[in-house]
Structure 1
Amino acid sequence: MGRILAIDYGTKRTGIAVTDELQIIASGLTTVNTKDLIRFLKEYTSQEKVDLFVIGEPKQMDNTVSQSEKYIKEFIINLEKNIPNIKIERVDERFTSKMAFQTMIDSGLKKKQRQNKALIDEISATLILQNYLYSK
């Protein structure tokens, strides 16, 4: 069994989380500059068995897609061209950034540490992945 890799796509930075091989535990992996994302994913999937990409789907409160969805769709097309053998699923990512920030507060991180946007992106990806695992 391979890992599940979650992607919290952003136009500048992208948070990445991954499961263990048994697909039980979600852990933050890293944050990557979005311009380097495909290269990072190709390298990662050449070293680790990945069964599935889970990509956040940003929605508005009225359930319509957010403005960033057009960039995510472009990324997905590029991802499917570059890594065609790994299935992609989408997961509603509403509130993950707010939940990530609250997680940082709850874990006792100081204000300066909570301003680390890369860490927020990584935690958001982890929350997306946890939500996916809970739904299965």
Structure 2
Amino acid sequence: MARILALDFGKVRTGIAITDELQLIASGLTTIETKDLLSFLEEYIQKESVERFVVGLPKQMDNTASESEELIQDFLKKLKAKFPSMPVERQDERFTSKMAFQSMLDSGMKKKKRRDKALVDEISATLILQAYLNRF
């Protein structure tokens, strides 16, 4: 089986998570500057078998699209142009940043490490991916 790769897309940086080959466990992979994201994905897919992308779907509490959705839509066009045969699915990402921060607190992580926004993005991508896996 191939892996599933999830993205917590952001204007400046994007958190990335990946499943194991059996698609059972979501793990944080890295956080990358968004401007380098497509080239990173291209390199990664050359090394690892990836079956699909899952991209976070930011929504407001009233279920309307968040402001960042416009940026994500632009990115999705580029992603589909670069990887035309790769399926892309969306996963609601409400509260993932808060849940990521809370998981850092619960794990006893030091304050300095909790300020690392890149780590929050990576954990958020992991939560998006795990929520996607839990749907099935």
Please state which band the TM-score falls in when normalised by the shorter chain.
over 0.9
1:56-107 Cα shifts (integer Å, max 9, x gaps) = 0000000000000000000000000011121000000000000000000000
SS in 1 for 2:37: helix
- The alignment-based identity, stated in percent, is 64
SS of residue matched to 1:123: helix
Q: Deviations over 1:97-128 (max 9, x none)?
A: 00000000000101111000000000000000
- After superposition, where does 1:66-105 map in structure 2 within 5 Å? 66-105=66-105
RMSD value over aligned CA atoms? 0.4
Q: 1:121 aligned to 2:114?
A: no
Q: Which residue of 2 aligns with 1:49?
A: 49
Q: Which residue of 2 aligns with 1:130?
A: 130
Structure 2: which 5+ runs fail to align?
none
Which residue of the partner structure matches residue 28 of structure 1?
Answer: 28
Superposition deviation, residue 45 in structure 1: 0.7
Separation in 1, partners of 2:36, 2:79: 12
CA distance in 1, matches of 2:37, 2:87: 17
Whichever residue aligns with residue 54 of structure 2, its letter is V
Aligned residues: 136
TM-score under structure 1 length normalisation: 0.99
CA distance in 2: counterparts of 1:75 and 1:45, whole angstroms: 18
Superposition TM-score, scaled by structure 2 size: 0.99
Aligned structure 1 segments of 4 or more residues deviating by more than 2 angstroms: none
Structure 1 gaps, min length 5:
none
Residue identity in the other structure for 1:101: F
